[in-house]
Amino acid sequence: MFILLTVITVVLLIASILPLSYSQHYAVRGGDFIRLQVFYGAIIVLVCACIVAIINNQAPTIFLVTLGLNILVILMQGWWIFPYTWLSKKEVKSSDKNAAHSVRIMSANVLMSNHNSKDLIALVKQYEPDLLVTLESDDWWQEQLTALHDDYPYRIACPKDNRYGMHIFSKYKIIQHKVCELVSADIPSIHILFENADGLIMQGHFIHPEPPSPTEKDTSRTRDSELIMVAKAVKDPIRPVIVAGDLNDVAWSRTTQLFMKLSGFLDPRKGRGFFNTFHADYFFMRWPLDHLFHSTGFTVKRIKRLAKYGSDHFALLTELVYQNADQQSELDKDENTLEVAEKLKMDEVDKHQVPTFKSNKGH
């Protein structure tokens, strides 16, 4: 029994060490996604080893090795995931209880093959987001979501049948917008300049890069490139900025951390919870795949993972208040940050491809 537990421990240790590499191959980067599962797995193996030792009334050397390696795995994985637990300090301050929200954003990866539009529309009606972002929305979804047109006078449609369609529905006036294919052809992102109910002009960037996987891309290079170029483009913004979408990356990955270091943006989930949005059908294999990051000045009124609606993703609702709050990212750039970014991104991509709307005037 100890031998079996030791073998499992070695597998967990390898899964913990591999993601420390800068390799962009999907087999390596996949280790970023399962940190929670590996963390829980190490705890289970540790408990099982202790139970076996108690039952056999002996603690052989192999038990001590198993014990030590699992503690190491728990510490390694815990270091990455701890900032997203309730025990950690909140990176973004909470809003005053009576503060009126500045923007309420709901992002929903609808799953193109999912045709349960009624439940999603019901969620939108219930939570009344100011901005609704749908991902994987094709022509069928575009037709179904016409039911929302009366509530959302400003809309941007980019239907695709390749699981990378995207739609924006806004109650707020969209002053400017641009649909881009930043890295790969037929993989769109939508960039908007909008004005909230108080007349505050904000900037939104909604992205859905390709994931590293055996069925999509062999490496994370295109995903990493898109995140890096957006991060560089939104650094030192002239107005409040939000970046959101299905990033096909987890909150604690090295690439996401690099995005935050380069941009100086904040993650409102830190200190509040994981908000695992994928996979909706398997509780034991979930991780935070849908994200919202923002520039300084915002406080958080609410973050909520919404009910299932037939997709493999849960929708994510984030309610922010712009109070010009004095706070900054705790991830300071070190001397290697830019060097790592250049190593990970594709040579042909450039931050100037990302619209940043230097003027507030529409066209």
Any idea where the domains of the chain sit in the sequence?
A: 2-84, 103-353
Q: Are 9 and 69 in contact (CB under 8 A)?
A: yes
Helix (H, G, I), strand (E, B) or coil at 261: helix
Looking at residue 332, its pLDDT comes to 67
For 103-353, CATH gives 3.60.10.10
Strands, sheet with 131-135, edge to edge from the N-terminal-most edge strand: 154-158, 166-170, 131-135, 103-109, 316-322, 298-305
The percentage of the chain sitting over the pLDDT mark of 70, rounded to a whole number, equals 97
Whole-number Å distance between alpha carbons of 92 and 257: 16
Task: Supply the pLDDT for residue 123.
Answer: 98
Placement of tokens 């979804």 in the chain: 141
Instruction: Note whether 113 and 136 are within 8 A (CB).
Output: no
CB atoms within 10 A of CB 331: 21
Around Cβ 72, how many Cβ atoms within 10 Å? Answer: 16
Peptide bond into 115 cis (omega under 30): no
Answer yes or no: are the C-beta atoms of 356 and 192 closer than 8 Å. no
Q: Using alpha carbons only, what angle is made at residue 176 by residues 228 and 265, rounded to the nearest 5 degrees?
A: 30
pLDDT value, residue 27: 95
- 257-277 in b/e burial notation, b at 16+ Cβ within 10 A? bbbbbbbbbbbbbbbbebbbb
pLDDT at 327: 72
Give the chain's mean pLDDT: 94
pLDDT of residue 40: 97
From CA 232, how far away is CA 227, in angstroms rounded?
A: 9
66 burial level (CB within 10 Å; 0-12, 13-18, 19+): buried
Distance CA 294, CA 205 (A): 10
Tell me, rounded to whole angstroms, the distance of Cα 233 from its chain centroid.
Answer: 18
CA-based angle 124:129:135, to the nearest 5?
A: 70
**Which pLDDT score is estimated for 362?**
67
pLDDT tens for residues 18-50? 999 999 999 999 999 999 999 999 999 999 999
**Residue segments in the chain with a per-residue pLDDT below the cut of 70:** 328, 330, 332-335, 362-363
Tokens of residue 133, six digits: 């972002």
Sign of the CA dihedral running 251, 256, 259, 264: positive
What is residue 333's predicted lDDT score, i.e. its pLDDT? 67
